Chains A and B, each alone.
Chain A
């Protein structure tokens, strides 16, 4: 055998051995166990931490809320859809607390009117519905059945009800200010409802010494607006507006 062929065979032998060695060193053990991939990668992906605990875990502690929610229109809405990912909270409930969306924004993701949504899904026009009050003022998110008959007066006094629904006074029932006899709906002109007649009536909520919630604007009843009656400047069904 010529010496150059021998050298060539030796060279090929070394190259082949190097290839086997490099493969042995570089290809991971688990590569090719199930297919043309690294089998350990499956466990690595599966080992990631979870953030959303799942509604079944929430129910273990919050069975009271679950009892309210089941059977309601929000039964299929999982807790974390509104309260956010809760696995950290589940691990340490007192250290990591979850927040509740109390504004109008989050409800609107689902319930603001959009022609692309399926017909029949409950939707509202946020600018025209409920003034600027947070949704939870009137609706219980865990049992959001539509409010029926809250304003019986609305059947006749539609315009006023519509105006009032955009104002801060929307949660006040008509009878809070208007003493109305039971027979008024049957005999509207004969049995007229009463109207507030004094400044002190409004002062029950808006006076400085009133016991109403602190978010309600206060004035000094003795000096504010001199001797004028409140409704000479403020329209009670839409107090944000100016006369």
Chain B
């Protein structure tokens, strides 16, 4: 062993180091906190006012589904199990590396024990999902009438009176966060409870989360719980390769999560 170590000369070692340096620089640049945050701010706000985001602490999510229930209560979302502004998914990875995902009624009625026997489960966890409030939202881009838009504080909303119900935005959303409301026949989605946050309240899902797994706050104000979450966690977003720049940030996100 010792001989092997000695066989690496100083010249070889330095050469190797020179090759590694660019790779290391590339890797570290991707880990900077700033890079995960949406770079594009909506026009008009000029770095002032609000700029909202949400953190989801997967290590704290217990899959109780109270967020899904509160969301439906607060926003008059149809009770049928096809319409959700937020829902909880359960991931089960077996020892054979097979992944199954389920979300019975969005988690509102709780999760029954998984079908897979416990000794075959490698890991299992819950992932709450909602509209990612992208800074570069594909749904806004495809809307032919300007009925869905990003407000100046970074929330993507739907203009109920302007929407023609063409469903383009539903198709464009890579996160499946939109649905066509069966009563109004227009597209609908999570608004970060815009009517609550503009009155200084937290979104309903954040309010009722019993284990503080959801954190709401301002992205550029270092004085909110979201920033404490940011400072102490390695964060990821869903489907970063699509460059939608989501403003919903997850920690401990498993590579199996889509």
Contact = CB atoms under 8 A, between A and B. Distances in A.
Given A50-B74, A76-B212, A42 B151 contact: yes
Contact of A34 (B152, B202, B209): B152
Given A36-B146, A115-B124, A116-B90, A41 B161 contact: yes
Interface in A31-51: 31, 34-38, 41-42, 44-51
A228 interface: no
A114 B111 contact: yes
Interface residues of B, number: 55
Interface stretch (A8-16, A105-113, A174-182, A205-213): A105-113
Interface string B19-55: 0000000000000000000000011100000000000
Contact of A78 (B42, B91, B207): B207
B160 interface: yes
Interface in B130-164: 146-152, 157-162
A158 B58 CA distance: 37
A115 B113 contact: yes
Contacts of B222: none
A117 B63 contact: yes
B62 A45 contact: no
Contacts of B75: 48
Nearest to B148: A37
Q: Dominant SS at the A interface? A: loop
A35 B111 contact: no
B118 interface: yes
A38 B162 contact: yes
B157 A52 contact: no
A43 to B, nearest CB: 9
- List the 8 closest pairs (A to B, CB-CB), nearest first: A37-B149, A41-B159, A48-B195, A116-B124, A81-B208, A77-B210, A109-B64, A46-B198
Given A31-B146, A112-B110, 19 more contacts: A34-B152, A35-B43, A41-B162, A48-B194, A52-B70, A81-B66, A81-B209, A84-B73, A110-B64, A113-B113, A114-B111, A115-B114, A115-B118, A115-B124, A116-B90, A116-B92, A116-B124, A116-B125, A118-B60
20 contacts: A34-B151, A35-B149, A37-B162, A41-B149, A44-B161, A45-B195, A52-B70, A52-B74, A52-B204, A54-B202, A74-B210, A76-B210, A109-B110, A110-B62, A112-B110, A114-B113, A116-B90, A116-B92, A117-B126, A121-B62
